[in-house]
Amino acid sequence: MSKTTCSTIRSQLDELMLGDPHSPEVSQHLRECDACRDFHEKQRKLRQIVGSLGTVSAPADFDFRLRSKLASGKSNGSYQLMRTFRVFVQRTAAVAAAVVIIVGALFLVREFRNSNPPIDTAVDNKPPSKTAPADVESVNPGNSQVSKGTEESARVAGDKENKTVPKRNVTTAPRNNRLLASEDKASSRAPLIRAPQQALDQIFPVDASQQSLKVSLLDGRGNPRTISLPTVTFGSQRVVPTATSFAPKGVW
Amino acid sequence: MDTLTSIDELGFAQALPTEALEDTTSDHALLEATRSGNQDAFGELVNRYRNQITSYIYRMTNDYDGAVDLAQETFVRVYRAADRYQRSYAFSTYIYRIATNLAISELRKRKRRKLVSLTGFFQPSDGSEPKEFNPPDERPLQDCELVDWERRTAVQRAIGTLPEKYRAPLILRDVDGRSYDEIAKILETSEGTVKSRISRARGFLREKMTAYL
């Protein structure tokens, strides 16, 4: 039996309703073809089983529940509109709340970072005095030495043996905190240097002898920084001689 | 259509005037009457189709309570959309189409939720189709009814494993006994596609139900 014929016959059998009479051609083929007969028999049994599923009855309170649903009006247009609007409002509120939380968190983080941590500027385990600036280390540029400092720390270094090793100010601060080493001195008076008369006699007048005045200071980190001061003139009078000419000593 | 304000406005179940709405009244006429505000007419439509629709959705979803809810939703939609109803199709085609869409939507929701089913535990790990969980029953068979019941249960489970595109035409054809033309209209596809899908569905079922054939 050709496969084409079997396929055609099976298609025709499939399209028939259960119990419908076959055409003579199909009946003839089923008598001759065992495979198609077996297929037809199984198909018939299967359709009988599926058809035996039958109809399931609706529950007794079906009508009552349906009436309740219709009366509640859950499916009308205004309900849908209200529901859509409610969802929109809820989503908008959620987004706004999220934005407020994020902005607040950013503000708090920024405030926390900007908070100035206390900088430890202690030298020799002593807290620094507000009126006392950082330690001043004098450097001898030649024969004359000048040192500056506060009233307590001002001293004259006469020889090289008295030269002290500069101590570094080590600042230990948390890693996350930014180090701020600057200090606003604009509104406070500069420290007044008052040395004893004996010391003043040794210091002034300054014998510059063709060299500019050099002052060595320690910066905020304890590193020495040398500042070279240029000659100062007041009008035509020269206090400190320049490299080319000498002014008479003691003459202002 | 006026919005209902109380349940009593819909008195279609209790006091159905059978003399006024005879069985010979067509579905179209009943829906026309519903559109004009006759709640009894809608009650008659519900009486005619509630069992069919509930049964159809139950066969599709294999969940009775869910099927009842979906059947009610079907009628609610028919009621709400009565103004937009067009008489180009039979009312049965119209209501079955709504029911089919709701059932397929429910099946897709379940897929998304990935509900844990009893048969799901026995799904093979290679991704092939799940095998039926059919443990041997040690009890002695009482009578033929029990055998029939077991057979029906097995075929219901087997139908539940079919893809939805094969499930709907098979149920409409072999359970409800609808014509190919009507099934094609309900499913909004061609007759040839319906025939092909039904044939494929029967092939799947034949493989699964070998022990019972």
pLDDT, tens digit, 9 for 90 and up, residues A2-22: 666 888 888 888 888 877 788
Q: Which of A42, A47, A56 sits opposite B58 (nearest CB)?
A: A56
Q: Which of A137-141, A236-240, B32-36, B102-106 has the lowest mean pLDDT?
A: A137-141
Q: Which of A46, A63, A76 sits opposite B206 (nearest CB)?
A: A46
More confident residue, B187 or A139: B187
The C-alpha atoms of residue B192 and residue A252 are separated, in whole angstroms, by 122
Residues of B in contact with A45 (CB under 8 A): 212-213
**In this model, does residue A155 exceed pLDDT 60?**
no
Q: Which of A120-124, A213-217, A225-229, B193-197 has the lowest mean pLDDT?
A: A120-124
The C-alpha atoms of residue A39 and residue A8 are separated, in whole angstroms, by 13
**Mean of pLDDT values over A105-117:** 83
**In this model, does residue B3 exceed pLDDT 80?**
no
Average pLDDT over chain B reads 80
pLDDT at B201: 93
pLDDT at B56: 94
pLDDT at B105: 92
Kindly provide the ipTM of the predicted complex, given to two decimals: 0.70
What's the Cα-to-Cα distance from A187 to each of A3, A38, A80, A184, B2, rounded to whole Å? 109, 111, 69, 8, 82
Is B155 within 8 Å of A64 when comparing Cβ atoms?
Answer: no
**Mean of pLDDT values over A224-238:** 67
Nearest-Cα distance to chain B for A46, in Å, is 7
Is B59 within 8 Å of A53 when comparing Cβ atoms?
Answer: yes
Nearest-Cα distance to chain A for B206, in Å, is 7
b/e map B90-119, b = 16+ CB within 10 Å: ebbbbbbbbbbebbbebbeeeeeeeeeeee
pLDDT at B72: 93
pLDDT at A19: 77
Q: Please report which residue ranges of chain A form alpha helices under DSSP H.
A: 3-15, 24-32, 34-51, 62-72, 77-114, 197-203
Q: Which of A46, A57, A64 sits opposite B202 (nearest CB)?
A: A46
pLDDT at B146: 77
**In this model, does residue A145 exceed pLDDT 50?**
no
Q: Which of A38-42, B78-82, B88-92, B128-132 has the lowest mean pLDDT?
A: B128-132
- Give percent of chain A above pLDDT 70: 49
Nearest-Cα distance to chain A for B108, in Å, is 22
Q: What is the pLDDT of residues B158-191, one digit of tens each?
A: 998 899 899 999 999 999 889 999 999 999 999 9
Instruction: Using pLDDT thresholds of 50, 70 and 90, give the confidence band for residue A136.
Output: very low
More confident residue, A209 or B181: B181
Residues of A in contact with B159 (CB under 8 A): 50
Is B198 within 8 Å of A14 when comparing Cβ atoms?
Answer: yes
pLDDT at A3: 64
Is B209 within 8 Å of A56 when comparing Cβ atoms?
Answer: no
Q: Which of B4, B59, B72 sits opposite A71 (nearest CB)?
A: B4
**In this model, does residue A56 exceed pLDDT 80?**
yes
More confident residue, B18 or A44: A44
What's the Cα-to-Cα distance from A50 to each of A61, A163, A209, rounded to whole Å? 28, 111, 123
Q: Which of A50, A55, A66 sits opposite B51 (nearest CB)?
A: A55
Nearest-Cα distance to chain B for A50, in Å, is 6
pLDDT at A79: 59
Residues of A in contact with B7 (CB under 8 A): 67-68, 71
Nearest-Cα distance to chain B for A98, in Å, is 28
pLDDT at B77: 92
pLDDT at B57: 94
Is B213 within 8 Å of A66 when comparing Cβ atoms?
Answer: no
pTM as predicted: 0.53
Instruction: Using pLDDT thresholds of 50, 70 and 90, give the confidence band for residue B196.
Output: very high
In terms of CA atoms, which chain A residue is nearest residue B54? A58
The C-alpha atoms of residue B184 and residue B166 are separated, in whole angstroms, by 13
More confident residue, A197 or B84: B84
Is B177 within 8 Å of A51 when comparing Cβ atoms?
Answer: yes
Pairs across A and B, CB distance < 8 A: 110
b/e map A141-180, b = 16+ CB within 10 Å: beeebbbbbbeeebeebeeeeeeeeeeebebeeeeeeeee
Q: Which of B64, B72, B152 sits opposite A53 (nearest CB)?
A: B152
Nearest-Cα distance to chain A for B76, in Å, is 6
Residues of B in contact with A62 (CB under 8 A): 46, 50, 54, 68, 71-72
Q: What is the pLDDT of residues A72-106, one digit of tens each?
A: 875 555 556 677 788 889 999 999 999 999 999 99
**Mean of pLDDT values over A107-123:** 69
Is A66 within 8 Å of B72 when comparing Cβ atoms?
Answer: yes
Interface contact B80, partner A, CB < 8 A: yes
DSSP string covering B118-156: TGGGG--TTS-PPPP--PPP-SPP--HHHHHHHHHHHHH
pLDDT at A159: 47
More confident residue, B74 or B138: B74
Residues of A in contact with B51 (CB under 8 A): 55-58
**Mean of pLDDT values over B103-125:** 69
CB–CB of B70/B106 below 8 Å? yes
CB proximity under 8 Å: B 173-202 to A: 174-175, 177, 180, 195, 198-199, 202
